[in-house]
Amino acid sequence: MKKRLIGLFFCAATMASAQAPLWLVSCNNQNDPARLMCEVAQSIVLSEGNQRVATAAFVKPAGDAEHTAVFTLPVGLYLPAGLKLSVDDQDLGELAFQSCDAQGCYATGAAGETWPVTMAEGEELKITIQRQDRQTVNFSFPLEGFRESIDIMP
């Protein structure tokens, strides 16, 4: 099992730059019928087996300007290292991992108003994490279409 996860990390890092995924917008009021929550998200999905490897999402209540960043990454991470973000090789910020379950490990934190603006002007969002063996792994999310997706969020 451990070898499969390590192999998945290498494959995912390679697949990230080969994909041309879209930033998708979705809104719902499932948690609070009186409050519409919206997110813009992109996932890296392996073409073989259609397995999701990583997701970057930015969530906000409709009408608010500040976003919360939510990242879902594979299990098998060195959690104390956290997650580092950059746009076009310029540091954007860091997030700590809160938890892991069978679906992955989760890092969440305030993105405020600045992260989405910086991302809308960039070409690539890069996530840097460490595996349990302390090897660095990068996931790249193309930012093409991000500005348009953020702009249509209520």
Distances from the Cα of 152 to the Cα of 24, 66, 74, 124, angstroms: 10, 15, 30, 20
What is the helix (H) or strand (E) element at residue 17, kind and residue range? helix 2-18
What are the backbone dihedrals phi and psi of residue 108, each rounded to the nearest 5 degrees, phi first? -135, 145
Per-residue pLDDT reduced to its tens digit, 6-53: 444 444 444 444 444 489 999 999 988 999 999 999 999 988 888 899
For residue 54, pLDDT beyond 50: yes
pLDDT for 1 equals: 44
Q: 149 falls in which pLDDT band (50, 70, 90)? A: very high
- 54 close to 72: Cβ distance less than 8 angstroms: yes
The amino acid occupying position 147 is R
Q: Which residues contact 94 (CB under 8 A, 6 or more apart)?
A: 82, 83, 84, 85
Verdict on whether the full-model pTM lies above 0.75: yes
Query: Rounded to whole angstroms, how far apart are CA atoms 9 and 33?
Result: 39
pLDDT for 65 equals: 86
Domains, the chain, ranges and CATH? 24-152 (2.60.40.1880)
pLDDT for 5 equals: 42
Give the residue from 61, 42, 5, 67 showing the smallest Cα distance to 139. 42
Q: Residue for token digits 């999701």?
A: 52
